[in-house]
Amino acid sequence: MTRKIQTVGVCGAGGTMGAGIALVAARAGFRTISYDVASAPLERAAKQSAAFLGKSVERGKMKPEARDSILAAMSHTADIGGLESCDLIIEAVFEDLGVKRDLMKRLDAVCADDVIFGSNTSTLSITEIASGSKRPERVVGMHFCLPAQLMKLIEMSPGILTSDETFRAAWEWAETCKQIPVKTQDKPGFILNALLVPFNNDAIRAVEAGVASAADIDLAIKTGLGYKMGPLELVDLVGLDTQIRLCEAFYPITLDPRAATPPLLKRMVAAGLLGRKSGRGFFTYDGNAMFGA
């Protein structure tokens, strides 16, 4: 039987996506334990989360006592053993199959057998990730949209061995958090990245070909198609290095030439232009506040 979800763990919580997922869980009233391999990224994420919630208070979207309650529900640890009490653990670690499989094995060693493991992978197979665990029936895909603390969608993907009970419990948790889950199959890129990776690459190639500036390409797409964010602004938010990893994960599986890494992207990353997190990508940024703060 699946235990009642009361405590949520987030692995890779020092990153942008992990920090956002932790906010989603704590904001919904769950005790939330954020884990990363080092203290420094966790401390940075904690400061960004506090600033994000502080801005919500300043803008009248949240009362101070609500902010304080959310922050009180959040704790941080660089010791994976600190996740022992969790009922649901969502991983948002490096987009590498070996890294995720290894994490599953490490979680097996510290977690009870009825804990649910959710994977925030955006391109990798849930079934292959679950093969790193001795309980593949308890592993389910839970792909949040970036930034997780603002976007509502979660792509919910069962692996071949994911039990109906696990999938239902994870789905109900997502709804409790006031997110909008959609069921997808365990296919490369699910829905969003199957469409977005090639589309974002097209925009990057348009910049490289001199079709227009990054600003004008984004403005055209936002104005003409009604997008809230242009593709190049989105790549800056996700991280140019992350876009490369998405391409490297997606292209060998699909052999879609549009999913191959654009040469400009490689050159920019080599120059240290990673997007928002480095202060410069296709655009220039001041500070490193969490998106929406």
Catalytic residue ranges: 122, 143, 155, 193
Instruction: Record the tokens describing residue 257, joined without a space.
Output: 């030439």
Rounded Cα gap, residues 197 and 193, in angstroms? 5
Q: Where would I find the beta strands (DSSP E) of 207-281?
A: none
Q: 141 with 126: CB under 8 angstroms?
A: yes
Which are the contacts of 93, defined by CB distance < 8 A and separation ≥ 6? 11, 12, 15, 18, 99, 100, 103
The per-residue DSSP string of 22-91 comes to HHHHHHTT-EEEEE-SSHHHHHHHHHHHHHHHHHHHHTTSS-HHHHHHHHHTEEEES-GGGGTT-SEEEE
Which are the contacts of 256, defined by CB distance < 8 A and separation ≥ 6? 198, 250
